């Protein structure tokens, strides 16, 4: 489920009007299923040297797919149609496990808080077993 997007080196993703860059990746940003299609469009733009083609996947960039997911994401894995993440919701807070549903785009945080990396790693490794 990889997609490609055009990102400004200053930040932001190219909007469907091919003139403006949105700060956040959303439904209005232009998306491509193939790298070559993104390259074809990029070559038509004036400021090509200020634009990168980025690959976005649910595993490597869950924040692009799940805007309600807040905090620092440390690790992810996919189990069927869910992305499971270890997240620190706020700097210095306890860790949580986030379950992100690829079909509904909803995020659910675990009720359990984990104070340190070893405890959350164990829970994360055994999640879904």
Residue with tokens 């400004």: 8
Same domain, 70 and 96: yes
| Four-CA torsion 121, 89, 102, 124, nearest 10 degrees | 10
pTM above 0.85, yes or no: no
Same domain, 112 and 75: yes
Same domain, 8 and 50: yes
Given this model, what pLDDT does residue 1 score? 65
User: Do 85 and 97 contact (CB within 8 A), yes or no?
Assistant: yes
Given this model, what pLDDT does residue 61 score? 72
Residue-by-residue pLDDT tens, the chain, 129 positions:
688 999 998 888 999 988 889 888 887 889 999 999 999 999 999 888 899 999 888 777 787 788 788 888 888 888 888 899 999 988 889 999 999 998 888 999 999 999 988 888 888 888 875
Same domain, 27 and 66: no
User: Do 45 and 25 contact (CB within 8 A), yes or no?
Assistant: no
Domain count, the chain: 2
Helices and strands in the chain, H and E counts = 3, 9
Same domain, 72 and 31: no
Same domain, 98 and 48: no
Domain extent, residue 35, equals 3-56
């Amino acid at each position: 489920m990889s997609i490609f997007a055009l990102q400004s080196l200053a930040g932001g993703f190219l909007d469907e009007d091919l003139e403006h860059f949105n700060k956040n990746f959303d439904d209005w940003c232009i998306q491509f299923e193939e790298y070559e299609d993104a390259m074809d469009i990029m070559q038509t733009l004036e400021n090509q040297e200020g634009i990168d083609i980025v690959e976005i996947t649910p595993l490597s960039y869950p924040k692009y797919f799940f805007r309600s997911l807040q905090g620092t994401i440390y690790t992810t894995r996919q189990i069927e149609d869910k992305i499971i993440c270890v997240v620190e919701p706020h700097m210095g807070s306890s860790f949580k496990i986030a379950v992100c549903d690829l079909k509904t785009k909803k995020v659910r945080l675990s009720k359990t808080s984990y104070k340190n990396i070893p405890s959350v790693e164990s829970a994360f490794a055994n999640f879904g077993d």
